[in-house]
A and B are shown apart, each in its own frame.
Chain A
Amino acid sequence: MYENDLISLQNACMYFGGVKAIDDLSFNVKRGSIMGIIGPNGAGKTTIFNVITGVYTPTSGNIRFLDRSLNKALPHEITGDGISRTFQNIRLFESETVLNNLKIASFAHTNYGLFATFLRTPRFRKEEARIDRECREILALLNLSDYAESIAGSLAYGVQRRIEIARALCCKPQVILLDEPAAGMNPAEIDDLNQLILRIREALNLTIIVIEHQMRLVMGICDEILVVNFGKKLAQGKPEEVKSNEQVLEAYLGKAKG
């Protein structure tokens, strides 16, 4: 692990009974980079996110964030410490307003306790005002200010996807994990999303890991691509290298009869 690496997996394994969802996987993510994870369906991509964010405890191996091990950490600790994520199928709090969705995600850095809550102390008011301001700033950054008071579940699919990214940003992450952010989008929308991802990386100094099937996104913005199949690493490298890798082509298109 180099000094520049923010997240690193060392021989990580995640078995569900006999199913090896992740099998001896190692990779490092450099600070400030965008890493793409691609692979056929069921290759274990989302499981990688789940072990990083603490939803699953890895069967063996090591997951490190900066100089800490994440193996035993709980999801809310990991998220509060700086790794937040979005979901493959949108999981917003649908009956809440968009602003409240974002405020919920500010939990870890809203600094007041029960005592302050019941007595409405100046600290409580100050913190609530700060959270409100910060959440509105993030909405503005993602051009979502108009939806602040709308009920999240009532909004269009594409907007909900962006709100999920906004919500993940409210945890004040250093690393953000995007799980198929471009699913169901057309090429024009994907181009917009690419610009958005680059913009938030620039504005908030983020490291990004993105799972995606849409090559337009992966090839467009990723600095490095990791290809997984059956939970194992198939290839890793720059987009051009991966594109011409024979094993990758084989996994996606099948083996040519020789």
Chain B
Amino acid sequence: MALKQSDSVQKSRAVPRLIAVGIIVMCLIALERSHVLSSSVILILDYIGIYSICVIGINLVNGYLGVFSLAHAGYMAVGAYASAIASKYYFTEEWMFPASILIGGLAALIFGIIVAIPSMKVKGDYLAIITLGFTLILQSIFQNMSFVGASQGMNDIPKFTNIYWIFGCLLLSIYVVTTLINSKFGRSINAIREDQTAAMLVSVNVKRIKITVFAISAFLIGISGALISHLLAYTSPAAYGFSNIVEGLIMVYLGGVGSITGAIFGSAAWQLIIQLFKDFGTWRWVIGGSMLCIIMVILPKGVFGYKEIGGVVRDLLQKVRDYRVKRKESDNV
């Protein structure tokens, strides 16, 4: 009996989840190949994929770890610029694109570790202010450095990004985060979110966990930055300011904190709103903003707060089953 229980624990849910996502991606590839989808639809899918990676990264710190950080725009800028420089001057061939992506991710990772340092001592609103400062400093640096085009930004970045790279990276980030969450690191992350002092006093190395989480989070956001700069072929400091911070937060809190499903749902929903209501111009911010307000009131943790799609479906099936049993009982009476 005891053995059986430990076996069931061993069976991770990561594999079936990965298969499900794989099937979806296959369908998308089939659609793209058959030219059923117009290029504008594919562009929307590109955006959804890229922002999903970014939001999964943000979610690691803001959701799972429960630290309110605003550094994501800064990481994204670092990833975009580092990879752009890499592929413009060093990795100019298309087959070298993974190297550029990796450089973008690693450059952001270094900044993630730097931001993790104040998070040891500072909490809550104060840390939010520090991370906001971090993002603004980075934006100003990029605005003033002439060799990356200063406020003009960088142009003529090779257009290496395509839907395969995007969804390949998305699959990889989903894998990284699910395996991390279903391990001693994931358990410790939850413990730190709930009670940092108690976690420390049951032997959790809080410093190490925090640095690890910030680093992985920044790495993923950096990758999304690298993908977006190679999709648009240019990158400018203006793209990584307040609007980027706000958009990131909207996608995280709309989809749901501490959930990969939520991250993908949030970015898909937000990108669709942005693209479908294009005719409304800036009015779409009103639509998106009011949607966010309504969802925050009804579901404060977002649509998929600390839940994954598998769990939601299982709960629903259980409810249906319960309802049927109840009906049967009342029929019998």
A interface residue numbers (CB < 8 A to B): 53, 55, 74-76, 79-80, 84-85, 87, 91-96, 100, 103-108, 110, 112, 114, 117-118, 120, 124-125, 128-129, 131-133, 136, 167-168, 170-171
B31: min CB distance to chain A, Å: 31
Report if B290 contacts A (CB, 8 A). Answer: no
The total of Cβ contacts below 8 Å across the A-B interface reads 104
- Knowing A93-B190, A133-B2, say if A117 contacts B200 (CB, 8 Å): no
Asked if B299 is at the interface (CB within 8 A of a chain A CB), the reply is no
**Interchain CB contact under 8 A, B195 and A107:** no
B201 touches A132 (CB 8 A): no
Cβ–Cβ < 8 Å partners of A133 in chain B: 2, 6
B295 to chain A minimum Cβ distance, whole angstroms, is 21
If the complex has contacts A107-B184, A118-B176, A125-B10, are A95 and B203 also in contact, measured as CB distance less than 8 A?
A: no
A114 CA to B180 CA in the complex, in Å? 8
Q: For the complex, what is the distance from the CA of A95 to the CA of B257, rounded to whole Å?
A: 15
Bound Cα distance from A237 to B28, whole angstroms: 76
Chain B residues closer than 8 Å to A94, beta-carbon distance: 194
- Give the contacting residue for B202; candidates A95, A120, A167; CB below 8 A: A167
Report which residue of B185, B190, B202 has the largest number of chain A beta carbons within 10 angstroms of its beta carbon: B202
Does A103 contact B184, Cβ atoms closer than 8 Å?
yes
Which B positions have Cβ atoms within 8 angstroms of A?
A: 2, 5-6, 9-10, 12, 175-176, 179-180, 183-185, 187-188, 190-191, 194-195, 197-206, 212
- Asked if A75 and B212 sit within 8 Å, CB to CB, the answer is no
Interface of B is mostly: helix
Q: Closest approach, in angstroms, between the C-beta of A182 and any C-beta of chain B?
A: 20
Option from A76, A91, A106 in Cβ contact (under 8 Å) with B184: A106
Given contacts A117-B180, A136-B2, contact A91 B9 (CB under 8 A): no
| Cα–Cα distance between A95 and B212 once the two chains are bound (Å) | 23
B180 and A118 contact, CB distance less than 8 A: yes
Please name all residues of chain A whose beta carbon is closer than 8 Å to the beta carbon of B201 when the two chains form the complex. 53, 55, 75-76, 79, 84-85, 87
Identity of the chain A residue whose Cβ is nearest the Cβ of B15 in the assembled complex:
A120
A sample of 11 inter-chain contacts (CB < 8 A) reads: A76-B206, A84-B202, A95-B194, A104-B202, A105-B203, A107-B187, A107-B188, A118-B180, A125-B10, A128-B183, A132-B9
B10 to A87, Cβ gap below 8 A? no
Complex: A76 Cα to B12 Cα, angstroms? 28
Are B202 and A107 interface neighbours, CB within 8 A? yes
Cα–Cα distance between A103 and B197 once the two chains are bound (Å): 17
- Nearest B residue to A90 by beta-carbon distance? B198
Q: Are B10 and A129 in contact (CB under 8 A)?
A: yes
**Cα–Cα, bound, A118→B179 (Å):** 6
User: How near does chain B come to A126, taking the closest CB pair, in angstroms?
Assistant: 10
Residues of B within 8 A of A55 (CB): 197, 201
Closest chain A CB from B190 CB (angstroms): 6
For the complex formed, measure the closest distance between the CB of B210 and the CB atoms of chain A, giving whole angstroms: 12
- Note all chain B residues with C-beta closer than 8 A to A167: 202
- State the CA gap A96–B192 with chains docked (Å): 12
Give CA–CA (A167, B199) in the complex, Å: 11
Residue pair A120, B12 in contact (C-beta under 8 Å) = yes
Chain A residue, CB-CB nearest to B216: A114
Residues A93 and B197 in contact, CB atoms below 8 Å apart: no
Which residues of chain B come closer than 8 Å to A87, judged between CB atoms?
A: 198, 201
A75 touches B200 (CB 8 A): yes
